[in-house]
Chain A
Amino acid sequence: MENGVVVCTDKLVRKFHVGRTELVALKEVSLEFRRGEFAGLVGPSGSGKTTLLNIIGTLDTPTSGSATVLGERVESLSPVRAASLRSRHIGFIFQTFNLLPVYTAYENVEFPLLLLGLSSAERRRKVTDALEWVGLADRAKSRPTQLSGGESQRVAIARAVVKRPELVLADEPTANLDAENSHKILQTMVGLNRDLGTTFIFSTHDEKVIRYLRRKVSLVDGRVAEDRTLEPGEVRSQKLE
């Protein structure tokens, strides 16, 4: 990764075919994200935020152009290599939490570590730490159905960061949460970004999230309409509003 660049897209195009109609979700998107950024892809529904996030997360491939994530070209990654990249270096947070329903909070957070083949003692230590970061150490044995929306999302955050990934992708993480829980979640993520140096990229159109961002990339109809770094004062003043 040159100069701390974690993600680099170059003239990225993603087309979908819906019946006979061709839908262009991303139109020549060129962007760079550096290590430790707390950035957001902002825009209305259908602007291409989630599509871009999926490509960065190696869950999808571009139709043309290129995307380099942590030094790997997404368009030429084998499924196994892509799975390995996700498993080791990328954490995901989704709007609908996507917790594994039959697992407890502890087991959900433990899951990525199981895939990495860590020892039981190491898993226990890391899961306990992660649950403490998100303030849910006392809910470790609860199943997703026994958790509130805010708690579920905090478990999802713990699951995303437990393996200390270099990159966390959060797709509308606060969309299903009330204002109070949204702020708690965002403060947790700001703390993790600060303490662990993890790069966070959000996709959102939620003002509550935008106020916490240090970089805002606005997407409109699949194109980058604005890419702006928010000054510390600007971020702070937004939060105080």
Chain B
Amino acid sequence: MTILKLAIRNLRGAGIRTWLNAVALSFAFVAIIFGQGMMQGMNKQAEDASVAFEFGGGQYWQKDYDAYDPLTLEDAHAPTPSALESLARAGKAAPILVVAGSIYPHGRIKPVLLKGIDPAQKVVALPTAALADTAEELPLLIGNRTAATTGLEVGDQVTVQWRDADGAFDARDGRVVEIMQTSVSTIDVGQVWMPLARLRELAGMEGEATIVTVAKDERKPPAVEGWSFRGPEFLLSDLRQMVKTKTVGQVIMFTVLFLLAMLAIFDTQVLSVFRRRREIGMLIALGMTRVQVIVMFTLEGALHSILAAVLGMAYGAPLFYSLQRNGFAVPGGDSWGFSLGDKLYPTFTAGLILSTTVLVFLVTAFVAWLPTRKIAKLKPTDALAGRGT
């Protein structure tokens, strides 16, 4: 306790030098929390949107379906099993039929995936009700990205072409009844949604589906023969991997920033041990052991991180609160590779702040301790004479 008191007294006595170090370290501290909070928020936002719009509580994939291989689509359809039909009737599942096709907006051909979904479903947050509230023979729902790339608007007619179950080409004119604004590009880009019953009829795949998405609150999906259940962990793994990849760059940047702050602490400690040789000798003469002197110097260095945490919180807390509440516009939009929306809402949890504080304290203590090892080899008589180190 005495050593801690002395370390605090020394820090106080060092005045402006202490505060300069604490300010530099607080920048790193705030930047690390901001970066981690941004990544956590990004991850959560992207996952929440994907779950809400696409994955729900998981998906049954027809055994031939491979999301990464479009060529499997031709065979990836089968009658919806009765267990899943029951779930769908109870509003706890949404069968989706996926058929490869093309549309011809403004005379251009564009390959798309035609996706049939029950307009009355509530399992995912797609605005499928728009497909029901219309007298159109073939109502179409597209996302804002597809609308932008095809130039289609609500009310536009567009020719839709597909191959039916027998491999024969067929086509109809459909009308865009809704353009959905979504942050989830994987339900938007190159996709055209239509009523499930209509697509089944056009493709000659009565009662069939490719995917069955179950509701988010469906805890124990039944095992179904010929269909594989893919849980949220599996479905979100790509997204998480992508976020992790983005995180690496951020971590490198923050590590560099942190190292610079650590360099300042290290430098201060080296200088301190050198400049305070006589003082070290005097401390030993007054009755301190070398270990006590080392602990005191290390504590002095490490206490910078506590000051930095307090300082960082003083200006960081209002900033974090505001960002978490109001979010901020993210430049780049879809270039991130996953759904973010117009604004990013970082997540600053108590765990994040606490773990960062502990990490910064431990690293600072280690960096502060490194130069003090010289004290262990310093003879008090040399130190008192201003020699050594």
Contact = CB atoms under 8 A, between A and B. Distances in A.
Interface stretch (A107-115, A180-188, A206-214, A215-223): A107-115
A101 B279 contact: yes
Interface in A109-152: 111-112, 114-117
Contacts of B12: 102
Interface string B265-307: 0000000000000110111111111101000000000000000
Give the residue among B279, B283, B285, B290 with the most A Cβ atoms within 10 A.
Answer: B285
6 contacts: A57-B285, A59-B384, A92-B282, A102-B12, A103-B13, A111-B6
Contacts of A87: 286-288
Interface string B1-22: 0100110011011110000000
A80 B381 CA distance: 17
A80 B290 CA distance: 9
A83 B278 contact: no
A92 B286 contact: yes
A102 to B, nearest CB: 2
A154 B381 CA distance: 22
Given A54-B381, A98-B278, A115-B2, A59 B284 contact: yes
B282 A100 contact: yes
Nearest to B380: A59
A83 B381 contact: no
A72 interface: no
Contact of A83 (B9, B281, B289): B289
A59 B285 contact: yes
A79 B289 CA distance: 7
A176 interface: no
Q: Is the interface of B mostly helix, strand, loop or mixed?
A: helix
Interface residues of A, number: 27
Nearest to A60: B381
Main secondary structure of the interface of A (DSSP, over half): helix
A76 interface: no
- Using C-beta atoms within 8 Å of the partner chain, give the interface range for chain B: 20 to 34
Contact of A79 (B15, B285, B290): B290
A94 interface: yes
Contacts of A59: 281, 284-285, 380-381, 384
**Highest count of chain A CB atoms <10 Å: which of B13, B14, B286:** B286
Interface of B: 2, 5-6, 9-10, 12-15, 278-279, 281-290, 292, 379-381, 384
Contact of B6 (A57, A60, A86, A114): A114
A96 B288 CA distance: 20
Nearest to B12: A102
Nearest to B15: A102
Nearest to B283: A100
Nearest to B379: A60
Nearest to A59: B380
A102 B14 contact: yes
Contacts of A107: 9
Contacts of B10: 102
Contacts of A229: none
Contacts of B287: 83-84, 86-88, 112, 115-116
A111 B282 CA distance: 11
B384 A80 contact: no
Given A100-B279, A101-B279, A114 B285 contact: no
Lowest 8 CB-CB distances: which A-B pairs, in order? A87-B287, A102-B13, A98-B282, A83-B289, A86-B287, A59-B380, A92-B285, A115-B287
B288 A98 contact: no
Contacts of B282: 92, 94, 98, 100
Contacts of B289: 79-80, 83
A100 B283 CA distance: 9
Contacts of A117: 2
A116 B285 CA distance: 14
Given A79-B290, A102-B13, 17 more contacts: A57-B285, A79-B289, A83-B287, A83-B289, A86-B285, A86-B286, A87-B286, A92-B285, A94-B282, A94-B384, A98-B285, A98-B384, A102-B9, A103-B9, A114-B5, A117-B2, A159-B286
A96 B285 CA distance: 14
B40 to A, nearest CB: 41
A159 B13 CA distance: 19
B278 A96 contact: yes
Contacts of A88: 287
A238 B10 CA distance: 44
